[in-house]
Structure 1
Amino acid sequence: MTDTYLNLVNAQPLSRIAKAAGLPRPVPLRRYAPDAPLVPGPVLVLGRSRSTQDMAATLLEWNLDVRRHLRPKEKFGAAVVVLDDLAHPGELSEVFLELGHGLRNLLPGGRIVTISRPVTSEISPQTAAARQAVDGTLRSLAKELRGGATANGILLGEGVNTDAPSVRGTLEFLLSGKSAYVDGQFIAVGSDHGAPPKSAELPLAGRTAVVTGAARGIGAEIVRVLRRDGAHIIAVDVPAAGEQLAQVANHAGGTALQVDVTAPDAAERILRHAATRYGGLDIMVHNAGITRDRLLANMDQARWSSVLAVNVESQLRINEKLLSSDHFNSNGSIVCLASTSGIAGNRGQTNYAASKAGVIGMVRATADALAGSGRTINAVAPGFIETDMTARIPFATREVARRLSSLQQGGLPLDVAEAVSFLASTNAAGINGQVLRVCGQNLVGA
């Protein structure tokens, strides 16, 4: 679906009129392209800890143009702010004010990434205040940036240092065009598990992935991106979508499996297919989902039950079989599709919000059970994404929904697929139980 307003306000003379009138002026986002640089200009590295220089060295290894201080009026493409040893809120002033003085020189599509630690019960009130202050600063900064720039953070778990493989992998994701619609978010790296992929261009090489709800929309785009990144694909959808499913699978060089995920034997059929065709399964993407919207006052049993059955109960049942099976490999990844509706709620979607909040609860509880096993489970929570479903929203409501984010536009199915592929990769092996919002920092909800 095309965002006509975005195209109009980026063309003359309407761009000047929109600026003069104070109208929202979204810009095309910097998304991933194989031949594009990781960032569009020099990278500024700020911080006072011993890890700051190590981070600068890492970025130099990536052949980036690194600065510890900006030259007057010098343009830059990204800033990495290392705050892993904060002990008092007063320590924030120097680094953030230096960053602020250079923000007018941040290039379009630029990236700001903080690296800090979360608040825990073991630290002092002063340290807790400093760490939580990073959260408020980063989220506010993300709302100030323009030109399609984003600001996100990495949280280092206990014993995790800046050189951990998943920290490096997360930083690369957040600096790249793959995170175009991720804004104002924190990704917690809870362990130093993992290793860089065998191929930076094919981070999923040799891994087999199942994608449910794969026949169209976000599911079909997830299939395309996982295949682009090297995965073998098993595309799953209901028999009624068989023709479209076959086209998606064939285009990805994979196989199609017609299965209703609510069927009692769905998990067994998926595992048997993966074992027979590919010798096992590495990645399970729970994308299948439905909506049956009504105000709760008008909700009936069929609408309520069908949404929960597809969106969360099927995932619970499949995961139970998956995690007890030898066919799901020891470093397997589960990625579940949640929604910002499950975080902030949405009018007329009590059943859908219940199901997506249920997915988030399931992910967090399952992550505790998987801790230290080498397997991970995470969720991606899309906001307003340009799909056939959102195209059916009334025009005025759709336009408001598009502009209610820091990036002032809807995301693309590609943006969701990029987040799924990242969380499914060995680059994210130290990330477990996280909910990554792909919403352009929607202004509703946390």
Structure 2
Amino acid sequence: MTDRYASFVQSAAGRALVKRLGLPDPPRLRRHQPGDPLLPAPALVGAATGGRLAEPVGKILTAAGVELADPAATTTAAARFGALVYDATGITDSTGLRQLYDFFHPHARSLVPSGRVVVLGTPPAECDSPREATAQRALEGLTRSIGKEFGRGVTAQLVYVTRDGDAGTLTSLDATLRFLLSGRSAYVSGQVIRVGTGPATAPADWDRPLDGQVVLVTGAARGIGAALARVLARDGAQVVALDVPAAGDALAAVANEIGGTAVQLDLTAPDAPTRLADHLAGRHGRVDVVVHNAGITRDKTLGRMDADRWDQVIDVNLSSQERINDVLLERELIPAGGRLVSVSSIAGIAGNRGQTNYATSKAGVIGLVDSLAPVLRERGISLNAVAPGFIETRLTARIPLVVREAGRRMNSMAQGGLPVDVAETIGWLAWPASAALTGNVVRVCGQSLLGA
């Protein structure tokens, strides 16, 4: 669906009108294209006194082909950076927060359009004192405010990195920086991401980070699911695309396009988990990544909603995920190092009028991540979720004009996201290099003003 307002804003007449009237100004976002460098300009890396991550981050960025800016040249007015990366792990009390101002204030206007800000911290729960935990928690306010202030498509994220790291920690930090600095994260901003430990492995080729991986995608026939299947296949995965029999033709088209396989299956059928497990075991012997994308809406206000609308949404969006997980895990078809990614929604965080059933199911998905991720971690399996905001699909095209425009503009990017934005985020969480990320819920909402 075309956002005609955003297209108009890019014209000369539109630019003049936006400036004169103070209207929302959707920037042109930098999105990933194969072969693109991570950044279009050098990165400036800074650190608080005593920071523990600046050195490894510098090595990660250099190995990824990122040019590191010479700090001596940053005082010039003409200096322009693709990213500002700051190691705040050395801040141990509130007085140390001044170091954030000293780093970001001189460079607040030095980022190129669609530049990136990444702040690295220590999880407050791992801090040595209440004062240190207080200071580290304060970083969330900094990054979320920067995401709303800097504009021009600039994104800002906070990455908490465990103190008790292993080799997997650095590998997943590498994967996370590659995602956050690149065009893959165009519609992700204001997020808090936690990197722990786990069996993360770096790919032989970062342009194909899923090479050799078997990935199941449910709801793959259209919209976000179809975009996801394409992104995962582009990244080297062997994709098993699943959808209901009624979507068989569209599903087959997607599977044929990407060289994957199609499975027609109604996930609410009593024997669906067993039939799916039998297919994966017989055809592939395992499944490295399971992406629970299938979902439906049956909108009505709660007072006008019949029981069938409630039951259908809960069953498809939440209960089917639980049943499939149970069977795949019981039969040990997901190996150590496997990843599960569930699709939640901003509605599951902020709620939405006329969607009590949908919001309940999507909040339940977040509950699934919170409760099951620690259990699966003991088996070397990660579980994360993404929570899309307003994404331009055939479903959002049906929303009344005024509501649709509000959904597009009420975020830091002043525009709706694209299905590929959700797909790129899920793709990053699906990489073997991201296996030390677990228990995260990452919003793909352009930093929505609601629930963000």
Same fold per TM (> 0.5)? yes
Alpha-carbon RMSD across the aligned residues, in angstroms, is 1.5
What SS is found at the alignment partner of 1:326?
coil
CA distance in structure 2 between the aligned counterparts of 1:198 and 1:428, rounded to whole angstroms: 14
Q: Does 1:46 align with 2:18?
A: no
Q: Does 1:370 align with 2:372?
A: no
Retained in 1: the 8 A contact 2:37–2:65? no
The partner residue of 2:337 within 325, 331, 334 is 331
User: What's the counterpart of residue 72 of structure 1?
Assistant: 76
CA distance in structure 1 between the aligned counterparts of 2:214 and 2:166, rounded to whole angstroms: 30
Retained in 2: the 8 A contact 1:46–1:68? no
**Deviation sequence 1:158-197 (CA, Å, 0-9, x none):** 4137971111111111001001110000110121531212
Q: How far off its partner does 1:102 sit? A: 1.1
The partner residue of 2:59 within 57, 60, 68 is 57
**Deviation sequence 1:186-230 (CA, Å, 0-9, x none):** 110121531212221111110111111111111111100010010
The partner residue of 1:225 within 225, 228, 231 is 231
Q: How far off its partner does 1:354 sit? A: 0.3
CA distance in structure 1 between the aligned counterparts of 2:236 and 2:41, rounded to whole angstroms: 28
The partner residue of 1:427 within 433, 436, 443 is 433
CA distance in structure 2 between the aligned counterparts of 1:374 and 1:14, rounded to whole angstroms: 52
User: What's the counterpart of residue 131 of structure 1?
Assistant: 136
| Structure 2 residue ranges without an equivalent (≥5) | none
CA distance in structure 1 between the aligned counterparts of 2:70 and 2:310, rounded to whole angstroms: 55
Retained in 2: the 8 A contact 1:152–1:186? yes
What SS is found at the alignment partner of 2:353?
coil
- Counterpart mapping for 1:231-310 below 5 A: 231-310=237-316
The partner residue of 1:445 within 433, 440, 451 is 451
Farther-moved stretch of structure 1 (211-220 vs 264-273): 264-273
The partner residue of 1:88 within 70, 76, 93 is 93
Q: How far off its partner does 1:376 sit? A: 1.0
**Deviation sequence 1:21-56 (CA, Å, 0-9, x none):** 111111121000112210110100011324323322
What SS is found at the alignment partner of 1:13?
helix
Farther-moved stretch of structure 1 (382-391 vs 256-265): 256-265
User: What's the counterpart of residue 102 of structure 1?
Assistant: 107
**Deviation sequence 1:294-350 (CA, Å, 0-9, x none):** 111111101111100100000010011111113222221111110010011011110
User: Counterpart of 1:213 in structure 2: which amino acid?
Assistant: G
CA distance in structure 1 between the aligned counterparts of 2:429 and 2:126, rounded to whole angstroms: 28
CA distance in structure 2 between the aligned counterparts of 1:153 and 1:68, rounded to whole angstroms: 23
Retained in 1: the 8 A contact 2:38–2:65? no
Identity percentage of aligned residues: 46
Q: How far off its partner does 1:118 sit? A: 2.0
Retained in 2: the 8 A contact 1:10–1:25? no
Q: How far off its partner does 1:68 sit? A: 5.3
User: What's the counterpart of residue 18 of structure 2?
Assistant: 18
CA distance in structure 2 between the aligned counterparts of 1:376 and 1:393, rounded to whole angstroms: 35
| Structure 1 residue ranges without an equivalent (≥5) | none
CA distance in structure 1 between the aligned counterparts of 2:327 and 2:410, rounded to whole angstroms: 40
Q: How far off its partner does 1:432 sit? A: 0.9
Q: How far off its partner does 1:121 sit? A: 7.3
Q: Does 1:215 align with 2:217?
A: no
Retained in 2: the 8 A contact 1:295–1:347? yes
What SS is found at the alignment partner of 1:94?
helix
TM-score normalised to the size of structure 2?
A: 0.96
User: Counterpart of 1:194 in structure 2: which amino acid?
Assistant: A
**Alpha carbons of structure 1 residues 123 and 387: separation in structure 2 relative to 1, 3 Å:** same
CA distance in structure 2 between the aligned counterparts of 1:392 and 1:277, rounded to whole angstroms: 39
**Deviation sequence 1:264-315 (CA, Å, 0-9, x none):** 2212222222222223211111111000111111111011111001000000
User: Counterpart of 1:152 in structure 2: which amino acid?
Assistant: Q
CA distance in structure 2 between the aligned counterparts of 1:344 and 1:282, rounded to whole angstroms: 32
User: Counterpart of 2:434 in structure 1: which amino acid?
Assistant: A
What SS is found at the alignment partner of 1:331?
coil
What SS is found at the alignment partner of 2:193?
strand
Retained in 2: the 8 A contact 1:209–1:285? yes
User: What's the counterpart of residue 34 of structure 2?
Assistant: 34
User: What's the counterpart of residue 190 of structure 2?
Assistant: 184
User: What's the counterpart of residue 125 of structure 2?
Assistant: 120
What SS is found at the alignment partner of 2:375?
helix
**Alpha carbons of structure 1 residues 50 and 118: separation in structure 2 relative to 1, 3 Å:** closer
CA distance in structure 1 between the aligned counterparts of 2:307 and 2:163, rounded to whole angstroms: 46
CA distance in structure 2 between the aligned counterparts of 1:141 and 1:75, rounded to whole angstroms: 17
What SS is found at the alignment partner of 2:84?
strand
User: Counterpart of 1:64 in structure 2: which amino acid?
Assistant: V
TM-score normalised to the size of structure 1?
A: 0.97
The partner residue of 1:359 within 359, 365, 374 is 365
User: What's the counterpart of residue 202 of structure 1?
Assistant: 208
Retained in 2: the 8 A contact 1:382–1:439? yes
CA distance in structure 2 between the aligned counterparts of 1:270 and 1:157, rounded to whole angstroms: 36
What SS is found at the alignment partner of 2:124?
coil
What SS is found at the alignment partner of 1:126?
helix
What SS is found at the alignment partner of 1:330?
coil
CA distance in structure 2 between the aligned counterparts of 1:330 and 1:430, rounded to whole angstroms: 12
CA distance in structure 2 between the aligned counterparts of 1:404 and 1:52, rounded to whole angstroms: 35
Retained in 2: the 8 A contact 1:207–1:230? yes
**Alpha carbons of structure 1 residues 161 and 442: separation in structure 2 relative to 1, 3 Å:** farther
- Counterpart mapping for 1:313-324 below 5 A: 313-324=319-330
**Deviation sequence 1:233-268 (CA, Å, 0-9, x none):** 111111111111111111111111110011122122
Retained in 1: the 8 A contact 2:390–2:408? yes
CA distance in structure 2 between the aligned counterparts of 1:50 and 1:120, rounded to whole angstroms: 17
What SS is found at the alignment partner of 2:415?
coil
Count of aligned residue pairs for this structure pair = 446
User: Counterpart of 1:67 in structure 2: which amino acid?
Assistant: A
User: Counterpart of 2:42 in structure 1: which amino acid?
Assistant: P
What SS is found at the alignment partner of 2:242?
strand
Retained in 1: the 8 A contact 2:389–2:446? yes
